[in-house]
Structure formats: structure tokens, C-alpha cells
């Protein structure tokens, strides 16, 4: 008995260290897992440790243009680190959705918006369905829908169920004043590329972020790299010391801009050119490469018939942007600041303002160069494609919270995905879709949406911008008065 007892005690002593080691290892695993969960600030019921990234390529090899959607693409989202804070311009999401904050959004409101929209889109269980109402100019609707499909691939399982309608032309369509009276019905929620102070359109990233095939403009992510490389070819101080613009000069404020061109009598320090789109199209747009247009110290942005997609391309070049005061705004411009990211130009005084801005820049080269670089840095950092997708995600997520009905697939809608859209395309259309396709789910969560502006905070921000523009006007007044005295 004694021998058996001693043997059992000896076995316990031998196993005891392994017992404590196992406990210690288990505690370390629990602590590490707890630390991981704490770091991951985004709420997701499918959060797990990320597995190695898998890339999915577009498969159109069987020649079937009516391919079914791939069943192999992930349907859940995995996290492996905490999210960052979104850029400041994301705060405008709250402002754009404020008209429906109290009432919410009913199905009847959405259906009323269908009267002006080009298509209706639903997301149900992570899948995208589209019903087209009418054809917009070129293929804006196609690339807009493509972008939303890519969002669902980037964050599978996270984009909420919703229904929306989308308008694809240049000018806003929902007039604010039609819904101003207390007894008026609530405005229909219509998504669009731009809005102004007189409209209630919900601003969404434009189609060219995924490519503008009709003009051979590559998807934004690729084109941004091209513009950055093009900017490095000529040093700022070696660039042509004038303001440059090229485009369709027969519409909007561009007609007046052409009057500011150099002539025998005046030189307003501008070099502005009419773009012949028909000729360029026949020649493959070889003279219209945006990456080759960073040869001047100053570039002008001016609206045409309405808002223009050229805004981001002009700001991306590190030449100082002379921004003719726009009527319309897209989703990112509202948080950019005059004299920090661009030089403000009045709509009613273009020629004199441009001449003064160029004179000032050529006499304050360090400051002018700094403004140009700040504008291009804003584009490359705050307008990266991941931020564009995160803006879309948060806008759609906040919009979905306002819906007072259960989203469903609209009658007559068709299911769309990367295969059904891209495999039926040819030429640049298919090339740009393949180039801009999300091939893997993100391994990080969307950035964290910042809170809405407090009323006083928003007024202070807008007041600061107005004060800066008034200061520039004062400098110009002093400049011209001094010039007249010298005559």
C-alpha cells in the first residue's frame, strides 16, 4: 500500500508542471483573444481572425455573356484590426440625410423618387438587384451600379438591406423649396452625383471612379497614380507660369472663361482651350491624357452645364487650383478650404481674379506651391478608393437606418454581379470593369464614421471659409487700385 501511494504521489508531481503550463498557455490565448476583440471597434457578428487573402478573378472564359453570379465569393466579413476615423468630409453624410431624420423614409417616398430616377436598386441578403427606368447619358448608370456591386464584394455581408433610386444627370433634381411648407409631403430620397443649396439630392460618388469608357479615362485608383507620376515630370518652378484649362467651352461659366484668354489687347494670365471631343475620339484621346496636363503652375476648375467630374482630376495635379466658385458640390469638396487646398475665384469676375491669382502665385512661389501640394495630397489621401468605398458604405448604412419598411426585390428587377455585368461588355467597358473590380474582401473594417456637426460648429466652419474668401477679394482690390495709381 505504501509503495502504491508513493508511486501515485510521484506521478502527480511529475504531471503537475505540465498542468500549470497548460493553464498558463490557456490564459495567454484567452488574453490575446480578448485583446483582439477589444481592438476591433467595428460591430460585426461575423468577426473572426482573418485568414490568408484569396483573390478572385473575373471568369468569362466560357464565352457565356449571361453568366450566373459566382457562388465561391465570400459572404461574410472578417476583421483583423481596429478601424481608423474617416476623413472630415464624411460628416456631410449626416447633413445630406437630415431631411428624413424625423420622418424616416417610407416605401411611398422611394417610389415617388422613381418618377425622376434612371434606376432603382435593392440590396437584399448582400445581393444586388436593379430595375432600370430610363437610359441616362452614356453609361453612367452601368458604372455607378458596378461600383455598388464592388462595395458588396469589399465588405461581404456588411452592406445592409435597402432600396434606393438613382438619378444620373449633371444637375440636381429634387427642389428644396417644393417641400419647404409645413403641410407639404416629405421629399423623395433620390441619390445623385451632386447637389446645391437649393436641392435635396443625396450626394454619392460619381461613376468615373470606376472609369469613363466613352472618353478613355481610367478608373480613379489607376489614374491617380498616373497623375502623380505626371506631376513629377516637370518641377513646379519650371512649369508654364500661367493658368490652364481645357474642355467643352460652349456651356455654363466656361463661355466667359474663354474671354479671359490671351489676346492682342489683354493678357489675363490664362491659357484656355476648346476640346474637340469628336476629333479626340477618332484619334484615341492621345492629346487628352490627364496625366500630361500638369505642365502649368495653375489649373482652373469651372463648372459647365452643371457640376463636372473634372474637379478631382484638376485638384489631383499639384499645380495650384484656381477654383471658380461652384454652384454645385459633390461628396468631398465641401470640407476643402480656400487658401489651404485651392485659390478661390469669383464667378462674376473671372478674368481679373485669375490674373491676380497668377500674379500673386508667381510672386509668392512657396505659398502657391504649398497650396497646390495640399490640394493634391487631399486627393491622394482623403480620396483614396478605400475612402470612396467607405463613404458609400456609411452613406448606405445610415440611409438604411431611416427606412420604415422591409426592403425587398422590386418587381421586374434583375440580379447583377461582377460576372453578369462585365462578361457582357467589350472594349474599354470590360477593360475598366476588370481593372476596377474588387478581387478580395477587405482585411480591415470600414473607417469609423465621425459625428454630425453641431449647428454652431458648422456655422463657424462655413464662416471661416467665407472670411478667407473675403480676405482674398480685399487683396485683389488693393492690387488693382495700386495698378491704376501707377498708370
Q: pLDDT-based confidence at 394, cuts 50/70/90?
A: very high
Dihedral over Cα of 93, 97, 102, 104: its sign? negative
C-alpha cell at 289: 491624357
- Is 407 within 8 Å of 161 (Cβ atoms)? yes
- Least confidently predicted of 34-38, 325-329, 423-427: 34-38
CB count within 10 Å of CB 99 equals 18
Q: What is the pLDDT of residues 61-89, one digit of tens each?
A: 655 555 678 888 888 877 666 678 999 99
Phi, psi of 432 (to 5 degrees): -70, -35
- Which cell numbers hold the place of 145? 451600379
Q: Which of 200, 196, 216, 198 is nearest to 208 (CA)?
A: 216
Query: From residue 254, how far is each of 127, 158, 274, 280 by CA, in Å?
Result: 42, 43, 10, 19
Contact indicator for 236, 372 with CB cutoff of 8 Å: yes
Q: What pLDDT sits at residue 345?
A: 96
Per-residue pLDDT, 271: 93
**Residue whose grid cell is 458648422:** 458
Residue 248, classed as helix, strand or coil, is: coil
pLDDT score for 352: 94
pLDDT tens, residue by residue, 111-131: 999 999 999 999 999 999 999
**Angle (deg, nearest 10), helices 385-402 and 140-154:** 90
CA 25 to chain centre: 46
**Residue 35 pLDDT grade (very low, low, confident, very high; cuts 50, 70, 90):** very low
Measured CA to CA, the distance from residue 383 to residue 378 in angstroms comes to: 7
Average pLDDT, the chain: 86
With cut-offs at 50, 70 and 90, classify the pLDDT of residue 266.
Answer: confident
Task: Specify the 3-state DSSP secondary structure of 322.
Answer: strand
Average pLDDT of the residues in 229-236: 89
Give the mean model confidence (pLDDT) for residues 360-378: 96
Confidence band, pLDDT 50/70/90 cuts, at residue 25: very low
Among left, alpha and beta (phi > 0; psi -120 to 50; other), residue 427 is left
Residue 332 pLDDT > 90, yes or no?
yes
- The domain ranges of the chain are 88-213+386-459, 219-384
Phi, psi of 133 (to 5 degrees): -95, -50
How many angstroms separate the CA atoms of 152 and 389, rounded? 10
Residue 435: predicted pLDDT: 94
CATH 3.10.20.600 correct for 219-384: no
Closest to 243 in 3D by CA, of 223, 231, 257: 257
- Asked if pLDDT for residue 247 goes beyond 80, the answer is yes
- pLDDT band for position 41 (50/70/90)? very low
Other C-beta atoms lying within 10 Å of the C-beta of residue 280: 15
* Eight-state DSSP code of residue 177: G
pLDDT of residue 49: 42
Better-scored residue on pLDDT, 250 or 456: 456
Write down how long the chain is. Answer: 487
Most confident of 226-235, 401-410, 442-451: 401-410
Residue 12 is given by DSSP the state H
Average pLDDT estimate for 263-272: 89
- Please enumerate in sequence order all residues whose Cβ is within 8 A of that of 186, keeping only pairs 6 or more positions apart, or say none: 99, 100, 103, 106, 109, 179
E-strand ranges in 74-216 read 119-124, 127-132, 162-166, 190-192, 202-203
* Distance in angstroms (rounded) separating the CA atoms of residues 42 and 54: 22
Record the pTM.
0.87
Residue 381, classed as helix, strand or coil, is helix
Which candidate, 282, 330, 324, places its Cα nearest to that of 309?
A: 330
Note the pLDDT of residue 14: 38
Exposure of 443 by Cβ count < 10 A (0-12 exposed, 13-18 middle, 19+ buried)?
A: middle
Quick one: pLDDT band at residue 28, thresholds 50, 70, 90? very low
Transcribe 443-464 into DSSP letters.
SSPPPBPPPPPPHHHHHHHHHH
pLDDT, one tens digit per residue, over 433-450 is 999 999 999 989 999 999
Q: Rounded mean pLDDT of 131-144?
A: 95
| Percentage of the chain lying above the pLDDT 70 cut | 84
Distance from C-alpha of 77 to C-alpha of 278, rounded to nearest angstrom: 45
Question: What's residue 65's pLDDT?
Answer: 52
In the chain, the largest separation of any two C-alpha atoms, in whole Å, equals: 123
Tally of CB atoms within 10 A around 465: 17
What is the pLDDT, as a whole number, of residue 263? 84
- Sequence-distant (≥ 6) Cβ neighbours of residue 417 within 8 angstroms: 69, 70, 127, 128, 149
Amino acid at each position: 500500500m505504501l509503495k502504491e501511494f508513493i508511486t501515485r504521489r510521484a506521478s502527480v508531481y511529475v504531471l503537475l508542471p505540465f498542468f500549470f503550463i497548460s493553464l498558463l498557455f490557456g490564459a495567454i490565448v484567452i488574453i490575446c483573444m480578448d485583446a483582439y476583440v477589444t481592438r476591433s471597434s467595428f460591430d460585426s457578428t461575423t468577426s473572426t481572425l482573418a485568414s490568408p487573402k484569396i483573390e478572385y478573378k473575373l471568369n468569362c472564359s466560357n464565352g457565356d455573356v449571361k453568366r450566373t453570379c459566382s457562388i465561391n465569393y465570400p459572404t461574410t466579413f472578417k476583421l483583423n484590426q481596429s478601424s481608423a476615423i474617416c476623413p472630415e468630409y464624411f460628416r456631410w453624410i449626416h447633413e445630406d440625410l437630415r431631411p428624413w431624420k424625423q420622418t424616416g423614409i417610407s416605401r411611398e417616398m422611394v417610389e415617388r423618387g422613381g418618377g425622376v430616377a434612371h434606376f432603382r436598386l435593392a440590396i437584399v441578403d448582400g445581393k444586388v438587384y436593379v430595375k432600370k427606368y430610363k437610359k441616362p447619358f452614356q453609361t453612367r448608370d452601368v458604372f455607378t451600379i458596378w461600383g455598388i456591386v464592388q462595395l458588396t464584394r469589399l465588405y461581404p455581408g456588411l452592406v445592409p438591406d435597402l432600396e434606393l433610386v438613382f438619378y444620373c444627370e449633371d444637375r440636381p433634381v429634387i427642389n428644396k423649396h417644393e417641400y419647404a411648407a409645413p403641410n407639404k409631403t416629405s421629399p423623395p430620397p433620390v441619390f445623385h452625383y451632386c447637389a446645391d443649396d437649393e436641392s435635396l439630392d443625396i450626394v454619392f460618388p460619381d461613376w468615373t471612379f470606376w472609369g469613363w469608357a466613352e472618353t478613355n479615362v481610367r478608373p480613379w485608383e489607376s489614374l491617380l497614380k498616373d497623375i502623380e507620376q505626371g506631376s513629377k515630370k516637370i518641377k513646379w518652378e519650371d512649369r508654364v507660369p500661367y493658368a490652364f484649362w481645357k474642355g467643352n467651352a460652349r456651356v455654363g461659366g466656361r463661355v466667359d472663361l474663354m474671354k479671359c484668354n490671351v489676346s492682342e489687347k489683354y493678357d489675363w494670365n490664362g491659357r484656355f482651350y476648346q476640346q474637340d471631343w469628336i476629333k479626340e475620339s477618332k484619334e484615341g484621346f492621345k492629346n487628352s491624357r490627364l496625366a500630361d496636363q500638369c505642365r502649368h503652375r495653375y489649373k482652373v476648375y469651372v463648372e459647365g452645364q452643371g457640376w463636372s467630374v473634372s474637379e478631382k482630376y484638376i485638384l489631383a495635379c499639384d499645380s495650384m487650383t484656381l477654383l471658380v466658385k461652384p454652384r454645385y458640390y459633390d461628396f468631398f469638396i465641401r470640407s476643402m478650404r480656400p487658401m489651404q487646398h485651392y485659390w478661390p475665384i469669383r464667378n462674376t469676375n473671372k478674368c481679373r481674379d485669375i490674373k491676380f491669382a497668377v500674379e500673386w502665385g508667381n510672386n509668392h512661389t512657396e505659398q502657391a506651391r504649398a497650396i497646390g501640394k495640399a490640394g493634391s495630397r487631399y486627393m491622394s489621401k482623403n480620396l483614396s478608393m478605400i475612402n470612396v468605398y467607405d463613404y458609400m458604405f456609411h452613406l448606405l448604412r445610415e440611409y438604411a437606418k431611416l427606412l420604415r419598411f422591409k426592403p425587398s426585390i422590386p418587381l421586374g428587377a434583375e440580379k447583377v454581379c461582377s460576372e453578369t455585368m462585365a462578361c457582357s461588355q467589350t472594349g474599354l467597358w470590360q477593360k475598366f470593369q476588370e481593372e476596377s473590380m474588387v478581387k478580395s474582401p477587405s482585411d480591415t473594417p470600414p473607417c469609423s464614421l465621425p459625428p454630425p456637426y453641431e449647428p454652431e460648429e458648422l456655422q463657424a466652419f462655413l464662416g471661416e471659409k467665407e472670411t478667407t474668401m473675403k480676405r482674398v477679394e480685399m487683396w485683389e482690390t488693393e492690387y488693382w487700385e495700386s495698378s491704376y495709381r501707377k498708370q
